[in-house]
Amino acid sequence: MRTRICLHWKARPKTRLEEFRPLAYLSLMAVREILTVPNPTLKEVSKPVDTVDEELRSLMDDMLDSMYAADGIGLAAIQIGVPKRVIVMDLDWGNGERNPRYFVNPVLSDPSENTLPYEEGCLSVPTYFDEVERPDRIRIDYLDYDGKPKTEIAEGMFAVCIQHEMDHLEGVLFIDHLSRLKRQRAVQKVKKLVKQREQDNAA
């Protein structure tokens, strides 16, 4: 089985994860611009966070607001130009509910030998989707919104999503798992989309 997940993310006979309806209150939130390929910042390796303080929590709030505004379910700090090892996620967002999750300095370990094929997408590679296989179960250690250490076993879509976002912290996008030709096609598609948006905004 394959599902589309959009973090902008396919693991049910193709389920899209990232394209959900924004709500009216989003206009009141601190929404930041999400970088798109081929912006070189997206290839930077993010740095560990020293402490979870009010400044970092403000960053995480902005990340969440930006993710919701873009109809996403996951976002790494580097996607808004901040090279810190921080991820936000909400896998319930598509159901009209809010269940935000925060991951600071996440570390993955003990991946399952079993893999799942998901047709992934990304807010930094808008409108482009392709299949990537990842372990369907993995351990994650991290600090939460309050700086408390947590350990979880992520399975299924959660496992795939957290691995997708962890890639961002290493300067890797999901298209980097694809062939060179597919990567080139994805980047060109995004360039055309961005150019068209700029022309529309200028009109």
Average pLDDT per consecutive 10 residues, the chain (203 residues; last block may be shorter): 47 37 47 96 98 97 96 96 98 84 98 94 96 97 98 96 98 97 96 89 80
Residue 77: what pLDDT? 98
3-state secondary structure of 95: helix
Query: For 4-198, which CATH class?
Result: alpha beta
* Alpha helices (H) in 8-76, listed in sequence order: 54-69
Ordered by start, the domain boundaries in the chain are 4-198
Residue 147: what pLDDT? 98
Residue 199: what pLDDT? 83
Which residues are catalytic, by number? 165
C-alpha to C-alpha distance for 124 and 1, rounded to whole angstroms:
25
* Alpha helices (H) in 24-109, listed in sequence order: 54-69
Question: What are all long-range contacts of 191-197, with beta carbons under 8 Å and residues at least 24 apart?
Answer: 191/38, 193/126, 193/127, 194/36
Residue 16: what pLDDT? 36
Cα 113 to Cα 13, 26, 159, 160, 178, distances in angstroms: 22, 40, 13, 13, 20
